[in-house]
Amino acid sequence: MNIEQKINQLRDELRQHNYNYYVLDSPTITDYEFDILLKELQELEANHPEFHDANSPTLRVGGEITKNFQTIVHEHRMYSLDNSYSKEDLLDWETRIKKLVDGDIQYICELKYDGASISLTYENGSLLRAVTRGDGFQGDDVTANVKTIKSVPLKLKGDYPPKFDIRGEIVLPWEGFNKMNEERVEIGEEPYRNPRNTASGSLKLQDSAEVAKRPLLCLLYNLAGNKLPVETQLSSLEKAREWGFRVPTEAKLSNSIEEVLDYINYWDVHRHDLPYETDGVVIKVNNLHYQEELGYTAKAPRWAMAYKFKAEQVSTKLNSISYQVGRTGAITPVANLEPVELAGTTVKRASLHNADQIEKLDIRVGDQVYVEKGGEIIPKIIAVDLNKRPANSEPTKYITQCPECETGLVRKEGEAQHYCPNYNGCQPQIIGRIQHFISRKAMDIEGLGGETVALLVNEGLIHNYSDLYELTKEQVIPLERMAEKSADNLIKGINLSKQIPFERVLYALGIRYVGETVAKKLVKHYKSIDVLALATEDDLVNVDEIGEKIAESVLEFFSSEQNRIIIERLRNFGVQLEISAEKLANQTEKLKGSTFVVSGVFETISRNELKKLIEDNGGKVASSISSKTSYIVAGENMGPSKRAKATTLNIPIISEQEFLKMIS
């Protein structure tokens, strides 16, 4: 056996022992024997660098330093999940999905793990990269740190696809968390607050050797990719397990919502017996073909629902109420509380939402209030202990003037929130709008964060987001915590943002009610900001999914002379204010006025590509058949009830080839 063969044999042997220990929980050798093999491999690799392997078991000890985590766009978007808290929520969800798919529906119930979401990409059986969830569209490359987690396979086994993503959660089990805290207390340092935050923070440590010291665990549960060799969620879990991933065994197939509720009730009690934190149950439609049929909303898959276990509640004193001003001028009352421990964190503040909520609960300063974490994330006050109310208690009077600029507040009919109308003169609104402009989903300006924006405004260097494009390196270097390199990065990031496409620029402008989805609809319809600026209310409400409230907000934005000046400045600086010629060339009006329902499995193009072609050619994609449906594009396995409904309504059913001829 030559040196290269010996190195590869040791690597394979160590990978198998790693798998036995960290995935199967069934070691076949002692720690000492493992260390002897590892040391032998380390010596051979050191003496023969020509046989270097980026996924060698010896690299799990870490040592790589990452100062700046590169931003990576997810090839397959990481969606969030809709939440439910009752049987009624689940039954409503079931009713919705049964309207959209044919046949009996089975569900997979899985525990919802409380850690840091991760996406692992494998190519030819080797770990290519590990990326945090980020905003779902893009995240941070934390490959060096994730490689140190022993339950993450660096090389796969069996019949894995050539390339795919697998999603999961990196958690810190209770035993390891408690041990870490004991060690911190011994050396006189503050203990960590909770396992979830500690796991999340571990992924962004600069030294991977420090990450290697932490007993992190990677639990995986979802495959993403093209033409994967699985047809159900259950089989995808089984396959992932065969390939070498640590896939929890608690998942269960259920045939009804009643069986789902039995699973929820069982784990609501027994979750405390698990070695790591869970905060609910995720219910998924088992059939992956049905998942494709159901598709996604703008934020979440229609085929999955998270059931959150009842939130922990605590009682504490309300010391005062303060008021915050958002970027749209919306006023949010905030409860300042006597600090109290809740779900692993110290809670000092909670949102009171609006004046109606304060009045409904009759919340007063000095009250003893009950606080819980909504979805175990954002603290909220749910009730007042009236038995402990002080005798001299006074009802809360909602403020009538902006706490920042003292402008009189307004409240439109039918709206819950009060607003400060001082759009151009209220500092928090100005800062908030610029912070929104630079955010990831908007202009995504690297090197510029929210705190720096506030500094730039407070120093008088910028007054609106168009001023960013006039900033110089010399102006920003004197700012707090700003070195020469960070100043270079900031100016570079601002210049690169000029390449951001129009739909994201429109979203970045911060027009009230114009979120990501609405911005895309408006851009698709109007093609340029000049045409949009001239639209009337009647024009706007005739655009797909644009209502009166959005139309009024758009008109109000463009009626402002200052906004028009800002847009003109953005144009002069080179910001994209119309659809690019390349994108425009791929769009037609051939399908204008036609609504399509896509159903079945397709041969030549994917379902998502098909939907994009419909929209690029002026058509609309609907999720269910109705009298307004113009065509059904049908692939293999189209459900019989959909076919029957189409026949009853005399809706033409066309193949993917016939559809492609329509747009050719």
**CA 121 to CA 118: how far, in whole Å?**
10
Q: What is the DSSP string of 297-358?
A: -SSSBTTEEEEEPPPPEEEEEEEEEEEEE-TTSBEEEEEEEEEEEETTEEEEEEE--SHHHH
> In this predicted model, what pLDDT tens digit does every residue of 109-139 receive, in sequence order?
999 998 899 999 999 999 999 999 988 888 9
SS3 at position 507: helix
182: number of Cβ within 10 Å: 10
User: Looking at the structure, do residues 186 and 328 belong to the same domain, yes or no?
Assistant: no
Query: Is 90 exceeded by the pLDDT of residue 380?
Result: no
At 550 the pLDDT is 92
Confidence of residue 187 (pLDDT cuts 50, 70, 90): confident
Q: What percent of the chain has pLDDT over 70?
A: 97
Of 338, 369, 388, which residue sits at a domain end? 388
626: number of Cβ within 10 Å: 11
User: Looking at the structure, do residues 118 and 242 belong to the same domain, yes or no?
Assistant: yes
Confidence of residue 167 (pLDDT cuts 50, 70, 90): very high
What residues have CB less than 8 Å from 162, skipping those under 6 apart?
A: 123, 124
User: Looking at the structure, do residues 610 and 563 belong to the same domain, yes or no?
Assistant: no
* 142 lies in some domain: yes
**Do the Cβ atoms of 385 and 400 come closer than 8 Å?**
no
Confidence of residue 88 (pLDDT cuts 50, 70, 90): very high
Of 522, 554, 584, which residue sits at a domain end? 584
At 376 the pLDDT is 47
Q: Which of 74-78, 189-193, 414-418 has the largest mean confidence?
A: 74-78
Confidence of residue 65 (pLDDT cuts 50, 70, 90): low
Confidence of residue 63 (pLDDT cuts 50, 70, 90): low
**Do the Cβ atoms of 506 and 531 come closer than 8 Å?**
no
**CA 292 to CA 296: how far, in whole Å?**
9
Count Cβ atoms within 10 A of the Cβ of residue 452 and give its class: 0-12 exposed, 13-18 middle, 19 or more buried.
buried
Q: Region 285-297: what's the mean pLDDT?
A: 90
Verify whether residue 284 is a known catalytic residue. no
The residue among 409 and 34 whose pLDDT is bigger is 409
**CA 335 to CA 338: how far, in whole Å?**
10
What residues have CB less than 8 Å from 657, skipping those under 6 apart?
A: 604
What is the 8-class DSSP label of residue 424?
T
494: its two tokens? 């601002």
User: Looking at the structure, do residues 206 and 111 belong to the same domain, yes or no?
Assistant: yes
**Do the Cβ atoms of 333 and 365 come closer than 8 Å?**
no
Which residue in the block uniquely carries the two structure tokens 């705190």? 451
Q: Region 17-28: what's the mean pLDDT?
A: 73
Q: How many CA atoms lie within 13 A of 595 on its CB side?
A: 10
CA end-to-end span of the chain, whole Å? 60
Query: Is 80 exceeded by the pLDDT of residue 369?
Result: yes
User: Looking at the structure, do residues 495 and 506 belong to the same domain, yes or no?
Assistant: no
Q: Which of 49-53, 147-151, 167-171, 360-364 has the lowest mean pLDDT?
A: 49-53
How wide is the angle at C-alpha 406 spanned by C-alphas 400 and 407, nearest 5°?
A: 75
User: Looking at the structure, do residues 491 and 528 belong to the same domain, yes or no?
Assistant: no
User: Looking at the structure, do residues 615 and 538 belong to the same domain, yes or no?
Assistant: no
User: Looking at the structure, do residues 99 and 246 belong to the same domain, yes or no?
Assistant: yes
Residue among 39, 87, 99, 112 flagged as catalytic: 112
Q: Region 262-267: what's the mean pLDDT?
A: 95
> In this predicted model, what pLDDT tens digit does every residue of 464-491 receive, in sequence order?
999 999 999 999 888 887 888 888 989 9
**Do the Cβ atoms of 305 and 112 come closer than 8 Å?**
no
CATH number at residue 318: 2.40.50.140
**Do the Cβ atoms of 487 and 446 come closer than 8 Å?**
no
**CA 137 to CA 119: how far, in whole Å?**
12
pTM over 0.85: no
Confidence of residue 206 (pLDDT cuts 50, 70, 90): confident
For residue 73, the cross-strand partners are: 138
Confidence of residue 408 (pLDDT cuts 50, 70, 90): very high
At 377 the pLDDT is 58
* 138 lies in some domain: yes
Of 528, 561, 584, which residue sits at a domain end? 584
* Structural domain of 38: 3-61
User: Looking at the structure, do residues 470 and 506 belong to the same domain, yes or no?
Assistant: no
The residue among 13 and 598 whose pLDDT is bigger is 598
At 100 the pLDDT is 86
Query: Domain count of the chain?
Result: 6
Q: What is the mean pLDDT of the chain?
A: 89
User: Looking at the structure, do residues 321 and 204 belong to the same domain, yes or no?
Assistant: no
**Do the Cβ atoms of 372 and 310 come closer than 8 Å?**
no
User: Looking at the structure, do residues 162 and 54 belong to the same domain, yes or no?
Assistant: no
At 62 the pLDDT is 58
**Do the Cβ atoms of 108 and 92 come closer than 8 Å?**
no
Q: Which of 62-71, 74-83, 196-205, 539-548 has the lowest mean pLDDT?
A: 62-71
At 6 the pLDDT is 83
**CA 58 to CA 101: how far, in whole Å?**
49
At 181 the pLDDT is 84
User: Looking at the structure, do residues 152 and 193 belong to the same domain, yes or no?
Assistant: yes
Rounded to 5 degrees, φ, ψ at 289 are -65, -40
How wide is the angle at C-alpha 326 spanned by C-alphas 325 and 330, nearest 5°?
A: 80
> In this predicted model, what pLDDT tens digit does every residue of 443-456 receive, in sequence order?
999 888 888 999 99
